[in-house]
Amino acid sequence: MDHAPQFFSIRFHGGADEVTGSRHLVEYGPSKILLDCGLYQGHRHEALTKTRSFPADPKSITSVLLSHAHIDHSGGLPLLVKEGYNGVIHCTAPTADLLRIMLMDSAILQEEDAKFFNKIHATEGLHIEPLYDQGDVEKTLRALKVHSYDEPFPVVEGVEGSFFNAGHVLGSAMVHLGIKTLKRTRHVLFTGDLGRRESILMDPPKIPAHVDYLLIETTYGGRTHPPVHEAEAFLANIINRSEKEAGPILIPSFALERTQELVFILEKLLRQKRIQPIHIYVDSPMAANITEIFQKHRGHISLSKEFRDFAVKDGDPFGLGTIRYVRAVEDSKRLMNTPGRKIIMAGSGMCEGGRILHHLRNLVGLSTTTLLIVGHQASGTLGRRLVEGNRKVKIFGLMHDVAAEVQVLTHLSSHADQEDLSWFIRSLSPRPAQTFLVHGDQTQRDALKERLKGEGITRVITPRFGEVFELD
């Protein structure tokens, strides 16, 4: 390129005013750089339509930078590749390992969903194809190029990329672009999902040195989480209390990060004898596979110092000697009849599918059962109905009375809350010329904008879906 372009632009395509389908496009001269390529989650028709829509023709996209492995950030990649993208996908090494598990699982769900739809609608002659299959995932995985944190790499001529620790999940990164324009180099930072200042499992997010344009997530822009370290006492209380009642504790849990965090806490509580010996089962092949990736990257800098020290000293932060990881379906079924007090962790995290449904079907009607909710429950999900205190719920098409006690642990979010987000922005020196609030419902974005205004931080924008900003 003889002359750098005078301007570049950012197109907010997905995950602007919503917490799903993260996709933003940086256009620089003839280059099109995609930040994340998430899958939309929600009602089938809208989710499929939105997932199929890209901010530019996939064949015309030059480069992709991926913040982390969660499906709402990565799950559109196999479709992008299927539709003709043939460039590189930049990410960190743990993200690449996690992607194999996350995207394969997503492909299997797509294939099953299409099969189910086609069976139900066969008489009407309706037929859908899966968004992508496992072959598309293999092609996507071959396009990955891994980088360490804080080590710049060329993206296209005139643009340099770097990843910084985002503190959200293993290997999660903020994406930094140094963009050469006619007059100067401009620095764009996209936080992806941002972690918290204090976390049991993750190291806090890094504060980058120079940011002109900030794209920051706002999932909890209007919320304050309770202190994370109270989670251990909360959990110990529940377990010790249920000792009296001898009933099982069911924990619907996300396979990536939340399960490993809970296991780490439980392992510590057991060793410190703050809880009595109890059978603990992680009833999820996916969680077991992800835990293996954590084992491989146990010294990774994105994990907290407390965790890394524990891993070096004790060698077993995932309780491989005490906790049972259940893979086979037959073993999962047998858990019902195992004697003694027990904790069963199983997916899905919002009780929308997976093995947790079988345990709920068997145990939700008993007053001795404790159902411990440890993550966000989206509206419309079974998990949400249970949190809201419904005494009758439908599981596999049949109504069940709810006699189990429902407890909610809100301490363990892997997303920054309003305090963390405000701290992060205030820590940037000098202040960004422009801050774009993304990946949050409008109420969360408005709440954070208001908070920032009170702190003298203006030039804050809440972009709409499809909006384009020309920057220099």
Contact range with Zn ion by CB under 5 A, out of 189-197, 270-278, 334-342, 343-351: 189-197
Residue 261, interface with Zn ion (CB under 5 A)?
no
Q: Phi/psi of residue 14, each to 5°?
A: -140, 160
Least Cβ distance, residue 70 to Zn ion (angstroms): 3
Contact between residue 192 and residue 175 where contact means Cβ atoms under 8 Å apart: yes
From the list 193-201, 212-220, 346-354, 402-410, the region that binds Zn ion by CB under 5 A is: 193-201
What whole-number distance in Å separates Cα of residue 392 and Cα of residue 207? 47
Place of tokens 């110092």: 305
In the complex, what is the shortest distance from the CB of residue 154 to Zn ion, in angstroms, rounded to a whole number? 27
Binding-residue total with Zn ion (CB under 5 A)? 2
Q: Which of 193/417 has CB closer to Zn ion?
A: 193
In whole angstroms, how close is the CB of 399 to Zn ion at the nearest point? 34
Taking the least distance from each CB to Zn ion, the nearer of 73 and 359 is 73
Q: In the set 27, 97, 136, 193, which binds Zn ion (CB under 5 A)?
A: 193
Q: Which is nearer to Zn ion, 228 or 320 (CB)?
A: 228
CB of 73 to Zn ion, least distance (A): 6
Phi/psi region, residue 36 (left: phi>0; alpha: psi -120 to 50; beta: rest), is left
Spatial CA neighbour of 48 closest among 142, 155, 134, 132: 132
Cis peptide before 31 (omega within 30 of 0): no
Give the integer Cα–Cα distance in Å for 330 and 182. Answer: 64
The DSSP 8-state label assigned to residue 463 in this structure reads P
196 contributes a contact to Zn ion by CB under 5 A: no
C-alpha distances (whole Å) from 30 to each of 11, 60, 162, 303, 432 are 15, 9, 21, 38, 26
Task: Enumerate residues 6+ apart whose C-beta is below 8 A from 184.
Answer: none
- Binding segment for Zn ion (CB under 5 A), chosen from 145-153, 185-193, 394-402, 436-444, is 185-193
- Residue that is written with structure tokens 């690449």 in the block: 96
Q: Which stretch binds Zn ion (CB under 5 A): 51-59, 188-196, 327-335, 396-404?
A: 188-196
Please state the closest distance from residue 22 (CB atom) to Zn ion, in A: 9
Query: In this complex, which beta carbon is closest to Zn ion, that of residue 375 or of residue 383?
Result: 375
Tell me which residues in 378-437 interact with Zn ion (CB under 5 A).
none
Q: Could you say whether residue 36 binds Zn ion (CB under 5 A)? A: no
User: Which residue, 136 or 193, is less far from Zn ion as judged by CB?
Assistant: 193
Q: Residue 95's Cα: distance from chain center in Å?
A: 11
Give the separation between CA 279 and CA 343, rounded to whole angstroms.
6
Binding mask 62-101 for Zn ion (x = CB under 5 A): --------x-------------------------------
- Residue 260, classed as helix, strand or coil, is helix
Residues that bind Zn ion (CB under 5 A): 70, 193
